[in-house]
Structure 1
Amino acid sequence: MTRLRLHRENHLVERIGWLRAAVLGANDGIVSTASLIVGVAAASTAPGDVLIAGVAGLVAGAMSMAAGEYVSVSSQADTEKADLARERAELAASPEFERDELTEIYVGRGVEPELARRVAEQLMAKGALAAHARDELGISDTTTARPLQAALTSAATFAVGAAMPLLMVVVAPAEWLVVAVSVASLVFLALLGAIGARAGGAGIWRATVRVTFWGAFAMALTAGIGRLFGTVV
């Protein structure tokens, strides 16, 4: 008799909660801080003032990312809780209808009606709410909203990303500040795109080009505005 050897599979989708927040935070940290530094430096501001502006952008951006992620993901969590509460009430009021509803879901996925009914009955006997949450609402432990995790991850990675262009302000000569920050930030963005794609199992080149292109566009636009207003003022 052949024995099945079971093993745990680590699927990449399990990383989606923290990975999305991490990539978003780091990308925003690099792009927004580098753009701020390039824009201020292009207006012929003293290096000390550029550094102060960059540090202020780091702190404000990290706090903004944390608050924004917490609020938005909390809204998602509230919606999930409301849907689960509604489903729990429906299960208590009409379990037969909910069983038929679950059966139809499985039939729609290609399961034969009689087998789909038996599957629905067995899954509901084990955990009716869990079965409906997963198969009807699309809510599972893997994809459920985690506000605090998203907030902390975004704030931390934003600070790390923002620190990279700030470091160039400290080490680069004043006359080469704009060029040094721009080039270094594009390199950082390319690395971020590659790391994020690698962690998520996606194509590295497409992610790298996408992140780098939009970062370059943001910095070029901000530098142009800074130079324009610096000349006018």
Structure 2
Amino acid sequence: MGAAVSRPLSDPTDRDRRRWVRYLVDERAEARVYRDLAARRDGEERDILLALADAEGRHEAHWLALLGGEPARLPRPDLGTRALAWMARRFGSIFVLALAQNAEGRSPYAGEPYATAAMAADEKIHHEVVRGLAARGRRRLSGTFRAAVFGANDGLVSNLALVMGIGATGVAPGFVLFSGIAGLLAGALSMGAGEFVSVRSQRELLAATQPNEYADDALPHLDLDANELALVYRTRGMPEEQALQRARRVVTAAHDSGRGALRAGEPETATDTNEVVGKAWGAAISSFLFFASGAVIPVLPWIFGLSGVVAVAVALVLVGIALLCTGATVGLLSGASPLRRAARQLLIGFGAAAVTYLLGLAFGVSVA
């Protein structure tokens, strides 16, 4: 039930009681998050979220029992839990579940002497449950959304490195602007063309591997006792004996009816290549636009007439903000720390820019 501590303890101190009150309000807030998320779901996911909220209620009852009833004054939940609750009420998205997954992974109960072993175990299981729900959401995310994040990030880093390198040589601002726009177009066209070829090739590959009706009209003419139809089913993964039985049934039915189908009686498993890889032109256009949306940011200072150190500084600030956003988004999508991923993305982007900037200094003069 979670209402008794796991071992005898000394009399609790005021500090212990304050900690219990904190646990109490956080458990209530987390339960509210799960209920708010459940209100935006239906079916199985709704039931799972409500079950998690009920489990948090058991933990809440444990701390109430230790406190001897409802405290006269309660503090506010911690900032992270309040942010989760706000997002759950307004969005109810995969990002909230990803943050909840991280929160469940930071449970303090493993080192809390007044928490039961069952409570600590519950929190670990909750982490896995939320991970599973978040994984469902990640699988439902469209490839276009992922392409938006990664395509924009590629544009940010590559064009920032380009304009930093060109700008460091001391050339005129107009030349830096031209180089940035050329880099934007070249990179976006390359991304679009590469995506078109990739998707078209995937579609052709998938289409070539799908079973078709090419041999169906040959089935009535096969020898009933000597034919290779069983080999077809073995290439599709059937065990030898099952393939032989299947082949005999199909050929017998074809002889009886005068026509047949290799896939007769099989469940429909053909994959729609549009669902798997999308359309080539759509992928190419979206990849072009996503890359260009990121690549235009480093060029904005020169587009608006800035030059020299001021343009470089503004470009770094704008790109830094964008890199932090894309890094945090990638972190959320992968279930990792958004702050850590944001910092990593910033370091990678600025690192690339620093390398090209130093090379520009080596081949020219400092920015004036």
* TM value normalised by structure 2: 0.47
5 Å-filtered alignment, 1:149-188, equals 149-169=282-302, 170=304, 172-188=306-322
Pick from 120, 126, 146: which aligns with 2:279? 146
SS of residue in 1 equivalent to 2:170: coil
Residue in 2 that maps onto 1:55: 181
Does residue 68 of structure 2 align to residue 68 of structure 1? Answer: no
Q: How far does residue 41 in structure 1 lie from its aligned partner after superposition?
A: 0.7
Residue 267 of structure 2 is aligned to residue 127 of structure 1: yes
Report the alpha carbon displacement of residue 38 of structure 1 after superposing the two structures with TM: 0.7
What is the CA–CA distance in structure 2 between the aligned matches of 1:73 and 1:51, rounded to whole Å?
Answer: 33
Q: 2:360 aligns with which of 214, 226, 230?
A: 226
* 1:24 paired to 2:158: no
Correspondence for 2:160 among 14, 34, 43: 34
Quote how far apart the aligned CAs of 1:173 are.
Answer: 4.9
Matched with 2:140 is: 14
CA shift at 1:174, angstroms? 2.4
Q: CA deviation at 1:102?
A: 5.5
- The one of 230, 233, 250 aligned to 1:98: 233
Q: Taking every aligned residue pair, what percent have the same amino acid on both sides? A: 32
RMSD: 3.4
CA deviation string 1:109-139 (max 9, x = no partner): xxxxxxxxxxxxxx98363442xx5xxxxx8
Unmatched 5+ stretches in structure 1: 105-122, 134-138
Query: Residues 116-167 of structure 1, C-alpha deviation per residue, up to 9 Å, x if partnerless?
Result: xxxxxxx98363442xx5xxxxx87653343223211111111111121111
User: Is 1:74–1:145's contact at 8 Å kept on the other side of the alignment?
Assistant: no
1:107 aligned residue: none
User: For 2:184 and 2:44, how far apart are their aligned partners in 1?
Assistant: 44
Counterpart Cα distance in 2 of 1:55 and 1:100: 52
Counterpart residue number, 2:348: 214
Counterpart Cα distance in 2 of 1:28 and 1:163? 11
1:191 aligns with 2:302: no
**Which of 1 and 2 has higher RCO (CA within 8 Å, sep 6+)?**
1
Taking the aligned partners of 1:201 and 1:214, their CA distance within structure 2 comes to 18
**Closer, same or farther in 2 for the Cα pair 1:69/1:218, shift >3 Å?**
same
Structure number with the higher helix fraction is 1
Q: Is the 8 A contact 1:26 1:159 kept in 2?
A: yes
On the 8 A contact 1:69/1:151 being kept in 2, the answer is: yes
How many residue pairs match? The answer is 201
Q: Does 2:208 correspond to 1:82? A: yes
* Contact in 2 for aligned 1:17/1:146 (Cα 8 Å): no
Q: Verify the 8 A CA contact 1:14 1:142 in the aligned structure 2.
A: no
Are residues 220 and 100 of structure 1, via their aligned partners in 2, closer, same or farther at CA, if it must alter by over 3 Å? closer
Distance 1:82 1:68, change over 3 A: same
SS state at 1:45 partner: coil
The one-letter code of the counterpart of 1:154 is S
The alpha carbon displacement at 1:224 in A equals 1.1
Query: Is residue 31–residue 215 contact of structure 1 (8 Å, CA) maintained in 2?
Result: yes
Aligned residues of 1:42 and 1:227 also touching (Cα < 8 A): yes
165-174 or 184-193: bigger deviation: 165-174
> Which residue of 2 is the match for residue 120 of structure 1?
none
* 8 Å CA contact 1:62, 1:154 repeated in 2: yes
SS of 1:78 mapped into structure 2: helix
- Conserved? CA contact 1:66–1:154, under 8 Å: yes
Change (3 A) 1:157 1:46: same
Query: How many angstroms does 1:171 deviate by?
Result: 5.9
1:67/1:100 CA distance change after superposition, 3 Å: closer
The 2-side partners of 1:157 and 1:166 are apart by 15
Cα pair 1:14 1:143 within 8 Å, conserved = no
Q: Identify unmatched segments of 5+ residues in structure 2.
A: 1-41, 46-132, 220-228, 240-262
Tell me how far apart the structure 2 counterparts of residues 161 and 211 of structure 1 sit (CA, whole Å): 14
Distance of aligned partners of 1:100 and 1:64 in 2 relative to their CA distance in 1, 3 Å threshold: closer
